[in-house]
Structure 1
Amino acid sequence: MRGFRVITALLALLLSSIFLAGCWDRTEINDLAIVLATGVDYEEGQAQLTAQIFIPRKGGGGSESGGAGEGASGVTMTRTAKGENIAEALNRLQRKVARHMFWGQCEVIVISEAAGKHGLREFVDFFLRYPQFREHAFVFSSQDSARDILALLDPLERSTSESLREMANMNLGTRVTMLELSQSLQGASGSAVLTRIVIAPPEPNDGPNATTPSLKGLSLYKHGKYTLTVKEPVSLGVLLMIKELNNIIMPVALEGEDGSFSILSKQITTMLTPRIVNGEWMMKIGIQAKGEVVLNTTDANLTDPAKVKALKEAWAKKLKDLAEQALHMSQKEQKTDFFRFADSFRRHYPQEWKKKKEQWETMYPGLQVEVSVKTAITGNGRSTGPQGIPEQSSD
């Protein structure tokens, strides 16, 4: 009798497994349109959403040339739709694509300056709420329309999304994710800084879209809206102040010397130290930089300790000048805390901050700021003498 019950139970399990086998509600990969990058524009009072979509049938192929809206190797296409808001635009965009749009692989989001003038909060809110979007996607600002950026036929990479992702990973400009952008806009300063991209001119024999996005300057945002574009040298000072000045070769001239030294920065750190003394608020900025000389067009010889000392002082002065130019733009011209001083005061002096936070916008332009810079030359390349000619050993 007991054996009969065991057999009956086993049969019941086998029969039930028939109904459990298979994933009846799954979506096959052949039914997905995988989005690699997203662009946001704002035209004629409507939000415009562009998706750069991977084409699977060409992904493993050779060197087919793509048509309009496809990458140089023919592995992407773009589709665009408009709506009263970005959610409606996405809904209409899906109607233009014969597969389920999958946004989980979207690693780059480009927001045009026109959309930035409308305001970022609507777009940031949507990207962080919609289930599929990645909060760690890199965000860029663009002078041109985001649609045109994503339609470029990149000669080097499979798509412009890969180009921009690599630029972000190399720390060229700012490296801001969607989550970090949201945190900046919701922070005490209410400002944000994004890398600005433009369309590089194509080569003479190439088509109008056969080119790459190029990084040029920074886009500054106040209270969630695009405010200003800054270019060199002010953009370098801004990157220095927000601790993102990397991978740069900087020319430095010495007084009394014709030509200059070019210094490759190896490490630059910027420390913000807020102080409140006898009711006076001030910010101390300490910058430390290490680099090596990669070009010497002077007649100076770096085996001379006096020349090395003079070079370190000249480099320190140049970095200080860059920081002070950025501070002047921020405090005196824009009167906007782009460097998030407010967040530093809030962390170090929470009680005092609660009393003064409503007055911060009027306090910031007159805030006392002290900048100090220390530099170190860690190498001279393969030569210590001028014109990069190594000394030859005599036989």
Structure 2
Amino acid sequence: MEKRKVVKGTTLVLWLVISSLLMTGCLGSREIDDLAMVMAVGLDKGKEPGTIKVTAQIARPGDVRGQTGAPTAGTGQPIWTASAEGRSIFEAIRNLARYSSRRVFWAHNQVIVINEEVAREGVSEIIDFFSRNHELRMRTWVVVTEDEASHLITTKTGLEVIPGVSMDKLFRYSEIVAEAPRTDMRTLQAAYLSRTTHPVLARVSPKNRQISAKANGEFGSNPQVELSGTAVFNRDKMVGWLSTKESHGLLWFVEHVESRVITLPCAGQRERSSTLEMKNAKFQVKPVYEKGKVEFDVRVKAMIDLVELGCPDVEDQYVWMQQAEKEAADLLRGEIESVLEAAQKRYHVDFLELGKVFENHYPAEWRQMAQSWDDAFEKAQVRVTVEANINSPVLLHKATKSRK
């Protein structure tokens, strides 16, 4: 009887202890008022040799509702930006504690902006640190800029209150533009660790494009962050830029191109043009390995809609349609050939993931040439075939002309 009472008493005590722990909430939780939530981070070279400057864009929860009309005890500024330097990224971030009254919290970071000088020296330490950080999401976008990264992440945009959120949405909705790769930390790390390809990052720049309502409609009074090309890497070091045309061609190889705008000048009226929209396309790369030579067949079949017929003197719509299909195919083929020229002749690195395609089809042969793939890639012959078809030709039967 005594033993039963002791067991029951012990069980009751354990139950009370467990219940009290559950009632106190999650262990290790942090109050939001104690956190400095980073929305964007910029990486520049420090003033001292061998140092790096980290600039953190931190949201001010009390002022995020807008840039005008600050709440009580607020400043009206939705972000607070601070910079610190160190011999490593981690040391620089720890040095931010000298200025921040809250603990720097990385779970909400949207974008990592890398200055060109830092990128050319190598991004291996950046990949290592941010991939090991347990607070950071691997879906964070990574970009390169010619400007100071600290300047870029403080650029205020017109549509979003927080610049970091603006750059995040810029990438999420950039598929309709198809001018720059959408590389996040996961994709960057995979390309860096891969034996078959090299990283590419979007290039971003501040451009004066916004029309200010406060300056009587003055154009370009406020800068906006825009996509403007691609940064190419050889392993972890940046080696150069791709133009907009070359970036169009790049995306066929590294992403799924869903939409694209094509403008074609009118015959005899170069100042006027018609506009087409690519709505659906199939892209295929087939490797061929014969007698020790590597070749690739690249095929594109694009379905296109006519959205603006800006050529008023078109008489035969079907003849024009056939010519437009040929011109659209030539334009797409020219973009693909231009990025192939950049990869094989200018930079001599396979950032088009052709090595991955070859390995999947010829695994045994790949093991023999893996160490010398860049040389084989440079010498590989690539044949490009593009077919463009305009949908709904019945809509082209008559041009939009006045009867007056």
TM range (shorter): 0.7 to 0.9
The equivalent residue for 1:143 is: 146
Partners of 1:163 and 1:203 in 2: how far apart?
17
Paired amino acid for 1:106: N
Q: Does 1:363 align with 2:387?
A: no
TM-superposition CA deviations, 1:80-127 (whole Å, max 9, x none): 111112121111123321111111111211112121012111101110
Cα RMSD for the two superposed structures: 3.1
1:255 Cα deviation (Å)? Answer: 5.6
Q: Does 1:22 align with 2:20?
A: no
SS in 2 for 1:260: strand
The partner residue of 2:167 within 139, 164, 168 is 164
Q: Is the 8 A contact 1:288 1:373 kept in 2?
A: yes
The partner residue of 1:63 within 61, 68, 76 is 68
Partners of 1:229 and 1:30 in 2: how far apart?
42
Paired amino acid for 1:128: S
Q: Does 1:337 align with 2:350?
A: yes
Partners of 1:366 and 1:251 in 2: how far apart?
33
The partner residue of 1:192 within 199, 202, 209 is 199
The partner residue of 1:347 within 356, 360, 364 is 360
SS in 1 for 2:151: helix
Partners of 1:332 and 1:326 in 2: how far apart?
10
Q: Is the 8 A contact 2:206 2:224 kept in 1?
A: yes
The equivalent residue for 1:228 is: 240
1:261 Cα deviation (Å)? Answer: 2.1
The equivalent residue for 2:225 is: 213
Q: Is the 8 A contact 2:59 2:162 kept in 1?
A: no
What TM-score, normalized by structure 2, do the two folds share? 0.85
The partner residue of 2:250 within 238, 256, 262 is 238
Q: Does 1:179 align with 2:192?
A: no
The equivalent residue for 1:48 is: 53
Paired amino acid for 2:185: M
Q: Is the 8 A contact 1:237 1:322 kept in 2?
A: yes
Q: Is the 8 A contact 2:317 2:397 kept in 1?
A: no
Structure 1 residues 63, 247: CA separation in 2 closer, same or farther (over 3 Å shift)? farther
Q: Does 1:324 align with 2:331?
A: no
Partners of 1:194 and 1:359 in 2: how far apart?
24
TM-superposition CA deviations, 1:234-267 (whole Å, max 9, x none): 2322233434555432112466676432111212
The answer for unaligned runs of 5 or more in structure 2 is none
The partner residue of 1:113 within 102, 113, 116 is 116
The answer for unaligned runs of 5 or more in structure 1 is none
What TM-score, normalized by structure 1, do the two folds share? 0.87
Q: Is the 8 A contact 1:302 1:308 kept in 2?
A: no
TM-superposition CA deviations, 1:102-155 (whole Å, max 9, x none): 111112111121210121111011100111111111111112111111111222
The equivalent residue for 1:248 is: 260
Answer with 263-272 or 151-160: which moved more.
263-272
SS in 1 for 2:244: coil
Partners of 2:317 and 2:395 in 1: how far apart?
16
Paired amino acid for 1:298: C
Paired amino acid for 1:150: I
The partner residue of 2:81 within 78, 87, 93 is 78
Answer with 174-183 or 209-218: which moved more.
209-218
1:11 Cα deviation (Å)? Answer: 4.8
Structure 1 residues 272, 146: CA separation in 2 closer, same or farther (over 3 Å shift)? same
Aligned residue runs from structure 1 range 261-300, under 5 A: 261-299=274-312
SS in 2 for 1:78: strand
TM-superposition CA deviations, 1:290-334 (whole Å, max 9, x none): 221122222465973332222112111111111111111211122
Q: Is the 8 A contact 2:253 2:353 kept in 1?
A: no
SS in 1 for 2:82: strand
Structure 1 residues 193, 65: CA separation in 2 closer, same or farther (over 3 Å shift)? farther
The equivalent residue for 2:128 is: 125
Answer with 184-193 or 241-250: which moved more.
241-250
